[in-house]
Every structure is written in C-alpha cells, then in structure tokens.
A and B are shown apart, each in its own frame.
Chain A
C-alpha cells in the first residue's frame, strides 16, 4: 500500500468513527430523556412503562386502551413489546416488561414465578371473563335445534363428515397452545367424532370460517371474548354442566389421566393482570392505575373488532374508547 492509500483509508475510518461516536452519544442522551419507569423508585414522574401485547386482537385492544390512559392522563411513555406468552414471564422477572394485562391462567408459570421466585406479582382480574366451549354456526343451530345440548349430537355425528375424518364426524380442535380437553370429552361423552387439529388459531379460523361461508355443518373449539364473534353468528352447544357432584372436574388435558374426569363444561377463565415485582414496587403512578383497570367482555370485543375487523389503527381505537368512556377511566385514576 502506498502512502496515499493509507491516508485516504485513515480519513474514511476517522469519518466513520466520528459518525459512530456522535450516533452513540446521541442515543445515550435519548435513553436518559425517556428514563426507565422501574428505575425511578419513589418519584411521581411516570417515566417509561413497558406493556406486553399478546398475540391476539383482544390483547391488542386492552393494551392500547391502557396505553392511551397512561399517556393521556399520566404523561407516561408507554412501550409495547410483543413477546410470546411463556417467555414474557421471564421478561417480567427481569424487569424488562412491567405488565401483562391479559393472562389466561398459566398456572405452571404462576407456581414458578409468583409463588416460588416472587419475581412476578398478581395484578387482580382484568374483568374480562374467558369462556371456552363447543360452537357451531347459527344457521346449523336453526336447522337442528337439538344441537343446543351435547346429547343432541349423538347419532348425528356423520353430518360433520369431511375428507379427513373418514366415516366419523370432524371435530375441529383449538390452537394446540390453548387449554383444552376435547379429545377426552369426546371419549367420555361417547361421541363418534374424530378430533382434528387445525393448528394455530389463524389456521383453525381459516378452516371453520370457510365451512361457514359454504353453509356447511361444522363444530369446533371456540371461546369468548373474541372479536370474530361480532363477524360470525355462532351458537354454543351446551356441555354437561358443572355441579356440586362433579366439582373435581378438570379442564386441562395436559394433566393426563382418565377421560371421565374431564366430563363437564369448561370452567370460566378469570383473566388476570400480572406485574413485574420491580414495577409494582417502583412507586410508579402507572401501577395503581393499571391495578384498578377493569374492562368488560363487550368493551374488549368492541375495540378488538375496530382493530382487527375494521383495520383501524390500534392507537386510535384505544384513544376513542378512552374518550367515550371517561367515567370508567376516571374510576381507575382514583
């Protein structure tokens, strides 16, 4: 290499270094500006709050409602992460996520992170109640009113026959990651259904919504609150009720064992808010507000429908709801 080439190389390197230091220096300033909510213990300045949005429209709705309230009323900076349901527990333990507003009872993780390690704390119910069950399209229910209860299905299973269920009826199972016991229920109830897994929820929705559009019979695992319930007219098949006699009845087939012990309808799922312990003890003004936050199934479905159904901007949908429900919001701020 000649002298000149070294010189030009040095200039290029120096230039890049200069750009780099300025860039980094500036970014440090940014961080100082925004600050971290969990670090500012004891101050009334809200700082940054990190909420995790779970991968479904309902969670998008309540997360953006919370964001609008915290930013609008408390002047917080809200950052939204989109971690998967299980890893988010570790994130809360590490103080990287402050709150999850819609957790569907991950009892195994509660035992590890809340009871044992104490790094995550319960934030009370969100007010939204999850309900899981067997659903069919309304048009089918009109045609076969006997499907109102599971007994009506007996002997009519072959109505639900498809290419893959052979001579049995097809029962379309839920997302494998959700709480379910349908295989066990089918066996315990003595129904001639083949349990077919469609895979993740978008795939399951694709399957039943298509049959719905064809006005074909279909029976599937489904739940509320879900924004699609506003788009499709569905009806529920009543499963054996929970009574005093079967109060030990289980819901999560993960526990294994005899199918008979699952022979009842799904219990109502209380949806919980969870907080990082660091956040709960930080003294952040956002904490009591999030702890007070309560929504109804209708609130949540309405906002979720605006976001997922009408493709509205989540920020706007959340803000609109907050503006229209100032009374509810004020009750959280007290």
Chain B
C-alpha cells in the first residue's frame, strides 16, 4: 500500500483474461449471500462476542503512558531522555535559525532573497508565484505567522529528507529491507497524528521542536517511498554496465543510481513538503507557532480568520511546490548541454544574484526596514494601513453568512442531497455492516479479497478484521467502514469522470491543478465548515471532507493512467475508424485499468486519513474515539481506535489492491 505513490507504469501489454470477467459475477454472488444473511439474521445482536475481546487493552495502554510520564519526571531520568532532549533541541534550533534568518533579512530582504534565488534557479514564472505568495502573506496581515510556519516547514522537510532519503536508498537496493519497513511506513501515515500527540509531548515536551518531530513522522514515509521507487526504476542495464566496468557498490550508487534517479528524488522533496504542510494545524496544537495556531483558535472564535489562515497555507504549498519543481526542471543536468562560455555566464549570474540580495538586505537594514512586515506604514504626516485583511475578512464573513442562511438558494439544493445520501446510502450500508452477524462480515470481506486480489491478501484481510474484533471496536469499525466505502465510491466515481476528462483536455488539467493542490493542502477543518452549514446531517460533512481530500489523488492517477496508454494502441484503433468516444471507452479506459484500480485503492487510504476529521464534525465511530483520546486524555482508547483505523485501512487495501503486486523486476 503506497500512500504516496509516484509514477504509474502503464501496462505495456495486456491480455483480457476470462478470470477478470468472472470477477464481478463472483463478487456479486458474495454480496448476495451477505445480504441474505443480513435479512435473515438482522436484529439478533450477533455482535463480536465479548469472550473474544481483549478488554484490558485500553487500560494497559493508559498505564504505559503513565509509566512513561513517571520515567520522565523521575529524579534521575533515564539517559534515553537526554538523547531525546538533544534531538529536540536540534530540531528547535533549526526552526529558530530559519526564522531568525528571515527576520534578520527584514521583510524586504526575505522577499528579495526568495524571489531572486528562485528566479536564478527556477525561472521567472516560479519566481513570480513566490513573489505573489509573499505579497499575499503581507496583505493578509499574516506575515509573522507565515514566516513561523515556513521556518517550521523548512526544518521539518530538511530533517525528513535527511532521514528518509538514506532509508529510501537502502530500501531501493534491498527488497527484503523494503518489505520489512513497509508496514511501519503505512502505520506512520494512517495512524492519526491525534493519537500519538500526547506521547510525543511527554517525550519531547512542547514547542517548535516537538512540532517538527510530529511532522516528520508523517513526512518521512513519502520521502522513503519515492526515493526507493526512483532507485529501483534505474534500469538493470545501467547498473550492470557500471558493475561490468568494475564500479564498487558505492560508485554504482553515487555515480549511476542516484544521478539517474534524480527526478524521483526531487519528486520526493516535493511530496515531503506537501505532506509536511498538511500537518501544520496539528503541529499548532503542541506549540508549533504560525498559521496552524490561527486556524485552530480561529475556528472557535473567528471562523473567517481561520479560513484566511487556511488560504495562506494553500498559497504557501502552491508556491513551494512550483518553486521546487521549477528548480528541479531547470537544474536537470540531462537537459543542459553547457558550453564553457555558458557555464561561465551561469556562474556570473549566480554571483550577481547573491550580490544583489546582499545589497538589498544592506540597504533595507540601513533604511530601517522592519524584521516583520508592519501592519501600518507611518510617514511624518499620516499613517497608512499596510494590510487589507479587514476587507478580506469582511468578504469571507459575507460568504459565511450566506452559507449559514438556511433560506439561501444553495441550501435548498445541498440539504436534500445530504439527506438523500444519508438515508439512501450511508444508513442502509451501515446497517448491513453492523447488523449482519460478525462471522458473515468477516468471511464476506475475506472472500471478496480472495476473488479480487488472491490468497495472501485474503489472509491479511482476515487477520486484520480479527484484530479489529479482538481489540473490542467491531461495531465502531463497521460504522466507519460504511462511511469510508460510501466516500470512496463517490470519490472514485467523480474522480474517474474528471480524471478522464482532464486526460483528454490539457486545458481542463491546467484549470484543475491549482484546485487539486488547494484541496490537498487546505486544512480539512477549514473547508468542511461551510458543509456543516450546507448539509446539516451528522455524518455527511465528514463524508464530504473525505471525498474532497481523496479526489485529487484519484483524478491524478486516472489522468496519468489514461495519458500513459501507448499511442500505438490509440492510433491502431483510430485507423480502424473508431470515434474519439469509442477510442476512449474501448481502448484507453480498459488499458488504463491498472491505474484506475490503483486510484480506487489510494482513494480508500486517503479517505481513511480523514476519518478523525470526520470525528470532529460529527461522524462518530472511530474518528470520535481518536479525537477524544487526545482532548480528554483517554490515551488507551485513542490508540485502540487508531489500531482499528490502521487495520481497517490494510484490510480494505488488500481487498481492492487487485493483482498489481506482481511487479516487473
């Protein structure tokens, strides 16, 4: 289960098997039997039996946390704490160093340095975006918070890469090691940060250092995965050629594998940034200052401000993404065939850039520019307001007021849609999952996994569901599963439609890109607020949040898959006189089936990642337990729910993974 999976290789050749055709029928039969069992046996309360439950688990986990706390506060603490403290200070020092640099440069210098460096190495388009980002932080009146978040992100990303890339390289070179760490990586991404926040605080206290560590847990896995993918993607021929010429393993790595995997390595930088940014709000809860703080506190007292800070996070994500990918593109040595003359010119440009930055900083400091962008400019006669946040907040508030008005036009559409979803899909499905006797549910999922994915995935599915039962959250997990399935179905349905459309029309893709970036980085609590008003039915806003979070990944995978269909196949079909629609439906989509299945699979994982947010907006079940775990310090219960989310994730992943594990080696 690769949450952050990179490029998808389009299947070079594909032979329709009768087995695949038979699968829908087989799954249908299993579901049919399941429904029969439901109608015959519902209402008999055949819940997971108490005798098969390990009831003391939450208490044991609570005790473990208390023990940790005692160790920490003991008079002579364990030397391990000294090591942890050292690591925390390193993280904290790094964050402070970044923020201090920005402040020392003054706000003028910060803008100049970032824009000029990106211009030099990434081109003017990216530089313009970076410039726009800084201008908007300034105008939004969120300069200080943005700088704090930027410092936190840079430190977290740097450390995540420092840890993740070496592990990724190792995983790319040794399949056994890769397989051994995969479950750990899955756990790091699926277990909600809420669950381990308190142990982190006990081990590392609060503050920017702890926030960085918390972010790293989430941001390291994509760095490892994409790096490993890159190293493995280096063709065997190149490696063999290097070995044939007598390269040592180290030489092969540094001169062949790493340079050839350059694009993937840069993609991993890029994805690490994105994942790190999506944890900003959580980091705010344990003292990572900045935009995350504004979002959480704003939600309780000033929703417009929370939304504004959320927008600033998105702008930062887009700017960092465009800047890093532009720099990656521009500095790719395979694209530059430099003569000595051009090389000299490039060096002069670099020197000029840094000279210019230094000059601007010196002048700015001499003229007394502030460390942070000021709220107002003063001249001898008048004071000018330097930000437009009052206007912005006013507009957002107007929009919120409109959404909150139950007499509005849009509410007349969204409310019935919400009720329809709840009454026709969510509730019936929940009843089927919760009320069918547990052994039918267990064997049903296992059988579907066997049909779709094979024996080993079926065994894993079975074991994972048993874990859920044994830790005592069967009913909650089935409730969550019903929400996850409905959300995934919606995300996949709309994701495939939009993804195919984007693959066919580059213009659509161009319009979509910033929109998808926004959905992936805007803190979910921010965009979910309007839906609480628009669809006022408990579980629906949570489902909407998951759909919106999962859909970008589905769209991207589907688009990449359809695009990746070999042109020869398309040409052949067109030559036989197929219309564009026929080519799409009969050639492209069937050939892109692997990517579409991967989209379904990733969709489920992304949906699960938002379960906790669902808990915060009324979805109940597992998400609720995790959210309560932190806020009321019911640690044991929170961890149990997290284990269930992880187990459910792995089970649903295996059910839907299909045959894609067979990788060409």
Which residue from chain A places its CB closest to the CB of B343 in the assembled complex? Answer: A5
> Are A12 and B536 in contact (CB-based, < 8 A)?
no
> Are A203 and B97 in contact (CB-based, < 8 A)?
no
Stretch from B258-266, B317-325, B441-449, B611-619 forming part of the interface with A: B611-619
Instruction: Answer yes or no: B131 CB below 8 A from chain A CBs.
Output: no
Contact with A along B609-648 (1 / 0, CB 8 A): 0000001111110001001101111100000000000000
Assuming the A-B contacts A15-B354, A55-B297, A210-B536, are A86 and B631 also in contact, with contact meaning beta carbons closer than 8 angstroms in the complex? yes
Stretch from A91-99, A139-147, A280-288 forming part of the interface with B: A91-99
Stretch from A21-29, A65-73, A239-247 forming part of the interface with B: A21-29
Residue among B100, B347, B406 making CB contact with A4, cutoff 8 Å: B347
Complex-state Cα separation, A213 to B407, whole angstroms:
9
Complex-state Cα separation, A210 to B418, whole angstroms:
15
Complex-state Cα separation, A5 to B289, whole angstroms:
40
Assuming the A-B contacts A96-B205, A198-B617, A213-B405, are A311 and B393 also in contact, with contact meaning beta carbons closer than 8 angstroms in the complex? yes
Assuming the A-B contacts A12-B354, A26-B104, A202-B529, are A308 and B301 also in contact, with contact meaning beta carbons closer than 8 angstroms in the complex? yes
Instruction: Answer yes or no: A153 CB below 8 A from chain B CBs.
Output: no
Residue among B97, B202, B285, B627 making CB contact with A90, cutoff 8 Å: B202
Instruction: Answer yes or no: B96 CB below 8 A from chain A CBs.
Output: yes
Instruction: Answer yes or no: B404 CB below 8 A from chain A CBs.
Output: yes
Interface centre among A26, A106, A164, A201 (most CB of B within 10 A): A164
> Are B100 and A27 in contact (CB-based, < 8 A)?
yes
Complex-state Cα separation, A154 to B304, whole angstroms:
40
Complex-state Cα separation, A26 to B106, whole angstroms:
13
> Are A11 and B347 in contact (CB-based, < 8 A)?
no
Q: How far is the CB of B353 from chain A (nearest CB, A)?
A: 9
Instruction: Answer yes or no: B300 CB below 8 A from chain A CBs.
Output: yes
Instruction: Answer yes or no: A232 CB below 8 A from chain B CBs.
Output: no
Q: How far is the CB of B241 from chain A (nearest CB, A)?
A: 25
Assuming the A-B contacts A26-B104, A177-B631, A201-B300, are A11 and B351 also in contact, with contact meaning beta carbons closer than 8 angstroms in the complex? yes
Instruction: Answer yes or no: B132 CB below 8 A from chain A CBs.
Output: no
B-chain residues with CB within 8 Å of residue A249 when the two chains form the complex: none
A-chain residues with CB within 8 Å of residue B406 when the two chains form the complex: 210, 213-214
> Are B301 and A60 in contact (CB-based, < 8 A)?
yes
Instruction: Answer yes or no: B108 CB below 8 A from chain A CBs.
Output: no
Q: How far is the CB of A229 from chain B (nearest CB, A)?
A: 14
> Are A199 and B202 in contact (CB-based, < 8 A)?
no
> Are B633 and A83 in contact (CB-based, < 8 A)?
no
Instruction: Answer yes or no: A82 CB below 8 A from chain B CBs.
Output: yes
Contact with B along A183-207 (1 / 0, CB 8 A): 0000000000000111111110011
Which residue from chain B places its CB closest to the CB of A87 in the assembled complex? Answer: B201
Interface centre among B103, B285, B300, B532 (most CB of A within 10 A): B300
> Are A8 and B620 in contact (CB-based, < 8 A)?
no
> Are A56 and B100 in contact (CB-based, < 8 A)?
no
Contact with A along B175-211 (1 / 0, CB 8 A): 0000000000000000000000110011001110000
Contact with A along B94-135 (1 / 0, CB 8 A): 001100110111000000000000000000000000000000
Instruction: Answer yes or no: A20 CB below 8 A from chain B CBs.
Output: yes
Instruction: Answer yes or no: A224 CB below 8 A from chain B CBs.
Output: no
A-chain residues with CB within 8 Å of residue B423 when the two chains form the complex: 163
Complex-state Cα separation, A15 to B618, whole angstroms:
54
> Are A203 and B347 in contact (CB-based, < 8 A)?
no
Which residue from chain A places its CB closest to the CB of B205 in the assembled complex? Answer: A94
Which residue from chain A places its CB closest to the CB of B347 in the assembled complex? Answer: A8
Those of B509-535 within 8 Å (CB) of chain A: 525, 529, 532-533
Which residue from chain B places its CB closest to the CB of A165 in the assembled complex? Answer: B538
> Are A82 and B538 in contact (CB-based, < 8 A)?
no
Instruction: Answer yes or no: B271 CB below 8 A from chain A CBs.
Output: no
B-chain residues with CB within 8 Å of residue A176 when the two chains form the complex: 615, 624, 627-628, 631-632
Assuming the A-B contacts A26-B100, A27-B100, A206-B536, are A82 and B284 also in contact, with contact meaning beta carbons closer than 8 angstroms in the complex? yes
Residue among B100, B627, B631 making CB contact with A85, cutoff 8 Å: B631
Those of A114-155 within 8 Å (CB) of chain B: 117, 119
Instruction: Answer yes or no: A289 CB below 8 A from chain B CBs.
Output: no
Q: How far is the CB of B47 from chain A (nearest CB, A)?
A: 18
Assuming the A-B contacts A55-B297, A112-B66, A202-B529, are A87 and B198 also in contact, with contact meaning beta carbons closer than 8 angstroms in the complex? yes
Instruction: Answer yes or no: B160 CB below 8 A from chain A CBs.
Output: no
Query: Chain B binding site: helix, strand, loop or mixed by DSSP?
Result: helix
Those of B50-81 within 8 Å (CB) of chain A: 66, 69-70, 73
Complex-state Cα separation, A308 to B299, whole angstroms:
10
> Are A199 and B619 in contact (CB-based, < 8 A)?
yes
> Are B69 and A15 in contact (CB-based, < 8 A)?
no
Residue among B354, B538, B617 making CB contact with A164, cutoff 8 Å: B538
Instruction: Answer yes or no: A301 CB below 8 A from chain B CBs.
Output: no
B-chain residues with CB within 8 Å of residue A24 when the two chains form the complex: 97, 100
B-chain residues with CB within 8 Å of residue A196 when the two chains form the complex: 538, 618
Complex-state Cα separation, A176 to B619, whole angstroms:
11
Complex-state Cα separation, A112 to B393, whole angstroms:
42
A-chain residues with CB within 8 Å of residue B404 when the two chains form the complex: 206, 209-210, 213
Q: How far is the CB of A331 from chain B (nearest CB, A)?
A: 28
Instruction: Answer yes or no: A57 CB below 8 A from chain B CBs.
Output: yes
> Are A23 and B536 in contact (CB-based, < 8 A)?
no
> Are B286 and A87 in contact (CB-based, < 8 A)?
yes
Assuming the A-B contacts A15-B354, A86-B631, A90-B205, are A198 and B97 also in contact, with contact meaning beta carbons closer than 8 angstroms in the complex? no
Residue among A55, A56, A199, A213 making CB contact with B615, cutoff 8 Å: A199
Which residue from chain A places its CB closest to the CB of B294 in the assembled complex? Answer: A82
A-chain residues with CB within 8 Å of residue B617 when the two chains form the complex: 198-200, 203
Complex-state Cα separation, A53 to B525, whole angstroms:
20
> Are A83 and B206 in contact (CB-based, < 8 A)?
yes
Q: How far is the CB of A266 from chain B (nearest CB, A)?
A: 16
> Are B301 and A207 in contact (CB-based, < 8 A)?
no
Instruction: Answer yes or no: A44 CB below 8 A from chain B CBs.
Output: no
Complex-state Cα separation, A308 to B289, whole angstroms:
21
Assuming the A-B contacts A26-B104, A55-B300, are A84 and B631 also in contact, with contact meaning beta carbons closer than 8 angstroms in the complex? yes
Assuming the A-B contacts A56-B300, A197-B618, are A22 and B104 also in contact, with contact meaning beta carbons closer than 8 angstroms in the complex? yes
Instruction: Answer yes or no: B484 CB below 8 A from chain A CBs.
Output: no
> Are B198 and A23 in contact (CB-based, < 8 A)?
no
> Are A198 and B538 in contact (CB-based, < 8 A)?
yes
A-chain residues with CB within 8 Å of residue B630 when the two chains form the complex: 84, 86
Instruction: Answer yes or no: A108 CB below 8 A from chain B CBs.
Output: yes
Instruction: Answer yes or no: B303 CB below 8 A from chain A CBs.
Output: yes
Q: How far is the CB of A66 from chain B (nearest CB, A)?
A: 17
Complex-state Cα separation, A4 to B538, whole angstroms:
67
Complex-state Cα separation, A306 to B602, whole angstroms:
46
B-chain residues with CB within 8 Å of residue A23 when the two chains form the complex: 97, 100-101, 103-105
> Are A19 and B101 in contact (CB-based, < 8 A)?
yes
Which residue from chain A places its CB closest to the CB of B625 in the assembled complex? Answer: A176
A-chain residues with CB within 8 Å of residue B354 when the two chains form the complex: 11-12, 15
B-chain residues with CB within 8 Å of residue A55 when the two chains form the complex: 296-297, 299-300
Q: How far is the CB of B363 from chain A (nearest CB, A)?
A: 15
> Are B632 and A177 in contact (CB-based, < 8 A)?
yes
Q: How far is the CB of A330 from chain B (nearest CB, A)?
A: 29
Complex-state Cα separation, A214 to B405, whole angstroms:
9
Complex-state Cα separation, A203 to B303, whole angstroms:
11
Complex-state Cα separation, A106 to B631, whole angstroms:
10
> Are A119 and B73 in contact (CB-based, < 8 A)?
yes
> Are A163 and B300 in contact (CB-based, < 8 A)?
no
> Are A254 and B347 in contact (CB-based, < 8 A)?
no
Instruction: Answer yes or no: A267 CB below 8 A from chain B CBs.
Output: no
Give chain B's interface residues, CB within 8 Å of chain A: 66, 69-70, 73, 96-97, 100-101, 103-105, 197-198, 201-202, 205-207, 284-287, 289, 293, 296-297, 299-304, 343-344, 347, 350-351, 354, 358, 361, 393, 404-407, 419, 422-423, 525, 529, 532-533, 536-539, 541, 615-620, 624, 627-628, 630-634
Other A-B pairs, 7, CB within 8 Å; known A11-B351, A207-B532? A19-B104, A87-B198, A200-B525, A203-B541, A207-B536, A308-B300, A311-B393
A-B contact pairs, 23 of them (CB 8 A): A11-B354, A19-B101, A23-B104, A55-B296, A86-B632, A87-B206, A87-B286, A96-B205, A96-B207, A112-B69, A162-B537, A163-B423, A164-B537, A176-B624, A177-B627, A196-B618, A199-B624, A200-B616, A200-B627, A213-B406, A214-B406, A307-B301, A308-B301
